[in-house]
Structure 1
Amino acid sequence: MRIYRITKTEYIDDFSGEGARLYGGRWNLVGDPVIYFSQNLSLSLLEIIVHVEFAKLPMGYSFIEAEIPDEFIKPIKSLDFIKPKWSSEGAEKQVQMLGSTWLKRQESLALRVPSAILGLEHNILINPTHKDIESIKIIKKQSLDFDPRLIR
């Protein structure tokens, strides 16, 4: 499967998961490193847009296109057991615990999770401490030029 990640250019080669470890994320608690990718470059952009001020968006971002063998990706089949709805703020700790438990158990190199922005699309979580991390192949790295209409 091809996967994509957008990040500040200065962090494009950082596969430690340090940012997520320091600050936590939707799918991980503070203290647990993870690398967030998406199944599409456009979804990666949407995931960035919801977290940054538009005025800061166009400056200094790059993307990675990578490939990971399908057998290393564990899909989440359902999140219906999480109440309230998994994508709501009220379920944040439950979702973080689910992701952090997956990371600690070393169940798979990657976990396919639904995007809270577009539930029919998926983000791919990468466990940077997993033994199979070298199975990810970088296809392309490139700086991004955003259309200025995004910041209107």
Structure 2
Amino acid sequence: MTPTQTKPAQTAPAPTPTPTPTPTPTAAWPGPSSYTECTGSAAIALSHLHDHADPAQRAVYQRALGRAQAFLLHTQSPDGSWSAAWGVNRIYGTLFAVRGLLASGLPRIHPSLTKTALWLENIQLPDGGWAEHHSGCSTNTYVPGPTSRPASTAWAPLALGCR
């Protein structure tokens, strides 16, 4: 290389994105892996199909709803929340899980839903809203946000009042 030539710039390789972990089958949950949001949304759709299906198809939908319910109940955290793969994080996942559980026929008075309601009430901020910091996604825990956030404040009451 001569003094007038410059060394070509070296670029660092692009970092490989870390995939979101998928729940895996365990001894307690031998079924296929899924995500809270997908299972909850599928349960809602299946419940609507079930209501309009012929009797033979209803049995198929009912079995699928039972599997969705089992998955959601198994993946609930001890504090009453659920994690999410796409939203921040626990409040968002909890909304999808509650909607799916209710669509699958779980009664509102079920202990799992009572635990969820208590968790949501306990994390409510003094101003009446909810907030969750995105850093909880990396540790798969609830990390409170410093001030109420519109999205969290929408998701929490929706989960508490799901119909």
The TM tier, using the shorter chain, reads under 0.3
Q: TM-score, normalized by length of structure 2?
A: 0.26
Instruction: Determine which structure has more spread, i.e. the larger CA radius of gyration.
Output: 2
Question: Which structure's residues are more often helix, by fraction?
Answer: 2
Question: Which structure's residues are more often strand, by fraction?
Answer: 1
**Which of the pair has the greater relative contact order for Cα pairs under 8 Å at 6+ separation?**
1
